[in-house]
Structures are given as structure tokens and as C-alpha cells.
């Protein structure tokens, strides 16, 4: 009798158990969370709010952010070296589901600009897990350039929200910031980067 009761209860609560199990998987498995987020991006959610740039007749002052990055081969890049280029920086970590979800869209953006000497697209793995980050990119068939913090990250760039993406103009000023996941594969982002390229100093 007790066994029949348990079976009956399980049958009645079958859908609840399944939904609960799926929710737990999404909550604790970054890959599952990333797949869910990617599905939402495909239906048009999580578009970055890109504001049209306005040409300023006044000369822009050059920002002087101090930040040093290093790649897996030990090559150091400073913000000073990037002056004169439009810079797209994505701050991420390998355990972050939303970071994983948006990576393919950043790859599409990178593919459009990888041969453009005026635009630099870098992914900054904030925990300095070089081998893990490299393995992640390989496993996802991504060719995005990875760098790691080699100094304190300016708070204006990254305030511990993952993922965070910033776009700098040619003077090193912050032209755009997105806190959280977004889809960077659209034409609006491409146009924004191209506009920043053509703006006068």
C-alpha cells in the first residue's frame, strides 16, 4: 500500500520533479545556463544599448587609464599602446554562464574586424587562469585573443560584474559600457565601431 502511494505521488509530481531538476542544472552548470542564454539571444533579447556617436567640434582630451594586460606568451599590452585605435574589451571568467553564452557573438564581431588595424578586440580573463582560458577557447572553436590583467583593472573598466564589456574611442575614452550579457553579432555594433574609427581626434 505504501509503495503504491509513493508511486502515485511520483506520477502526480513527475512534471514538478523534471522542472526542478532542469532548474537546478541551469543554476549550477555554466554550460547549461549558457545554452539557455544563447537561446534567448537568438530571439532578439540582450541587445547592447548602443547610442549613436555625435561628432564633437571641441578637441577631445585623451584619457589616461593605467592598465596593463599580458597574453599567455608573456606579451604585455598597455592602454598607452592602444591609443589611436578603437578598443573593445570584454571582461569574463571561465565559470561564468552569461560570459560563455555571449562569446560566439563576440567571435562573429572579431571575425569582421580581425584584419582591421584601427580596431582591437580583446577578451580579458579576470582570474588569470591561463591554461583553463586557453582550453575553453579551444573546446568552443573560438579564436578570440585572450589577455589577462597584469596590473589593477581600473574601476571605470570593470567593477566585478561579469561579463562587462567596454568600448574605447581612439583617445582612450570610454564610449560604451555594457554590464551583463549581450549579443555583439549585430550590425549596430559594427556600425558603432566604424563610426568611432572615423571620428576626428
pLDDT for the residue 129: 95
Task: Return d(Cα 173, Cα 59) in angstroms, integer.
Answer: 13
Task: Return d(Cα 79, Cα 68) in angstroms, integer.
Answer: 7
pLDDT for the residue 28: 54
Cis ω before 183 (30° cut-off from 0) = no
| Domain chopping of the chain, boundaries | 68-198
pLDDT for the residue 54: 47
Cell numbers that stand for 46 in this block: 540582450
Helices (H) and strands (E) in the chain, counts: 7, 7
Spatial contact of 82 and 19, defined as CB atoms under 8 Å apart: no
DSSP alpha helices (H): ranges in 66-147?
Answer: 79-82, 97-113, 130-139
What class has domain 68-198?
alpha beta
Spatial contact of 183 and 46, defined as CB atoms under 8 Å apart: yes
pTM for this predicted structure: 0.77
Helix/strand/coil for 98:
helix
pLDDT along the chain (201 residues), means of 10: 57 54 50 59 62 52 91 96 97 95 97 98 97 96 97 96 97 96 95 93 63
- b/e string for 106-126 if b means 16 or more Cβ within 10 A? bbebbebbeeeeebbbbbbbb
Task: Return d(Cα 84, Cα 180) in angstroms, integer.
Answer: 27
Amino acid at each position: 500500500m505504501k509503495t503504491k502511494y509513493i508511486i502515485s505521488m511520483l506520477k502526480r509530481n513527475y512534471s514538478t520533479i523534471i522542472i526542478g531538476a532542469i532548474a537546478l542544472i541551469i543554476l549550477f552548470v555554466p554550460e547549461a545556463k549558457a545554452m539557455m542564454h544563447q537561446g534567448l539571444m537568438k530571439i532578439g533579447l540582450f541587445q547592447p544599448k548602443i547610442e549613436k556617436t555625435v561628432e564633437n567640434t571641441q578637441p577631445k582630451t585623451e584619457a589616461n587609464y593605467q592598465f596593463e594586460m599580458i597574453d599567455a606568451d608573456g606579451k604585455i599590452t598597455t592602454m598607452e599602446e592602444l591609443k589611436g585605435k578603437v578598443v573593445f574589451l570584454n571582461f569574463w571568467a571561465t565559470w561564468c554562464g552569461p560570459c560563455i553564452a555571449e562569446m560566439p557573438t563576440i567571435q562573429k564581431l572579431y571575425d569582421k574586424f580581425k584584419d582591421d588595424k584601427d580596431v582591437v578586440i580583446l577578451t580579458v580573463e579576470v582570474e588569470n587562469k591561463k591554461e583553463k582560458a586557453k582550453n575553453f577557447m579551444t573546446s568552443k572553436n573560438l579564436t578570440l585573443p585572450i589577455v589577462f590583467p597584469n596590473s589593477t583593472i581600473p574601476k571605470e573598466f570593470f567593477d566585478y560584474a561579469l561579463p562587462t564589456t567596454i568600448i574605447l574611442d581612439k583617445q582612450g575614452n570610454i564610449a560604451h559600457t555594457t554590464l551583463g550579457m549581450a549579443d555583439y553579432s549585430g550590425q549596430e555594433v559594427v556600425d558603432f565601431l566604424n563610426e568611432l574609427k572615423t571620428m576626428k581626434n
